[in-house]
Chain A
Amino acid sequence: MIGRFDNVIIQTISRLLIPPIQLFALYVIAHGHYSPGGGFQGGCILGASFILMVIAYDIKEAKRMMSEKVNTIFSSLGVIIYSGIGVVCLILSANYLDYGILNKIMPVTIAEARALGIFGVEVGVGITVMAVMVSIFLNLASGGEHEEAEE
């Protein structure tokens, strides 16, 4: 169990650093079309910002921001988004994960529909990776005995 470690310098610096880190993570996810990056990398950075919060403050403080229930829901939500996009393509009478058919429900060309499908998939991957990183870290760091934060 990681106990609370009161250090003004560490806490202030990480409070200043966490928002830019999360913004950069969203940038990496959203900019995967044009530069190196994508769901896996951006999700890892987003998870790292929560892990930094756990290290600088403690587990209770981090769980007030994102409770364990929400975290577990997020980890499955990403996979649901990914496979749900595939099922939407299936309903619109194309192959599974054939995003080109999404231009039937959006006013874009086939190529742009594919780009949007890729973006949706990357968002799903990012959400899953972020939630799984945080939950693995919390479980390993505390031996599975991190108690629920007060609701």
Chain B
Amino acid sequence: MRFFALIAVIITGALLIYATVDMPNWGDPNSPANIHVSPRYIEKTIEETATPNAVTSVVADYRGYDTLGETTVIFTSGIICILLLRRRK
């Protein structure tokens, strides 16, 4: 059974490595991520959000839901830590 598991893992890993061949080159200016959203954010961030730091405007404004989720994850981890560890003598 472990042998079949090993075969499955090797096949999946080979497929994943094969799929990376199709990915755009590192920093390729013509990759889809660099010709659709990135120029839009870089060009409009001052005009739309009055924030010179494009990273901040993307993180907190254009991708606001994402950051809300991240904050909730951190809050949840703190609450879980209290729930699991906290004891009163």
A contact residues vs B (CB 8 Å cutoff): 32-36, 38-40, 72, 75-76, 78-79, 82-83, 86, 96-97, 99, 109-112, 114-115, 117-118, 121-122, 124-125, 128-129, 131-132, 135-136, 139-140, 143-145, 147
Complex: A136 Cα to B51 Cα, angstroms: 33
Which B residues are in CB contact (< 8 Å) with A96?
A: 65
| Secondary structure type dominating chain A contacts | helix
Q: How many residues of B contact A (CB 8 A)?
A: 34
Question: How many A-B pairs fall under 8 Å by CB?
Answer: 105
Give the contacting residue for B53; candidates A32, A132, A135, A140; CB below 8 A.
Answer: A32
The B49-89 residues at the A interface (CB cut-off 8 A) are 49-53, 55-57, 59-61, 64-65, 67-68, 70-72, 74-75, 77-79, 81-82, 84-89
When the two chains form the complex, which single residue of A33, A40, A140, A147 contacts B52, counting CB atoms closer than 8 Å?
A33
Are B78 and A117 in contact, with the CB atoms below 8 A? no
**Residue B48 CB within 8 A of the other chain:** yes
Query: Using Cβ atoms and an 8 Å threshold, which residues of chain B touch A83?
Result: 68
Alpha-carbon distance A17/B50, docked complex (angstroms): 34
Name 12 A/B residue pairs within 8 A (Cβ), A-sorted. A32-B56, A33-B56, A36-B55, A75-B78, A97-B65, A115-B51, A124-B71, A125-B67, A131-B78, A132-B78, A135-B81, A140-B81
A58 to B85, CA, bound (A): 19
In the complex, B47 has a CB within 8 A of chain A: yes
| Cβ distance A68 to chain B, nearest Cβ, rounded Å | 9
Q: How far is the CA of A115 from the CA of B79 in the complex (A)?
A: 30
Q: How far is the CB of B33 from chain A (nearest CB, A)?
A: 21
Q: Which of A76, A121, A124 has the most CB of B within 10 A?
A: A121
CA distance A148 to B88 in the complex (A): 9
A125 to B70, CA, bound (A): 9
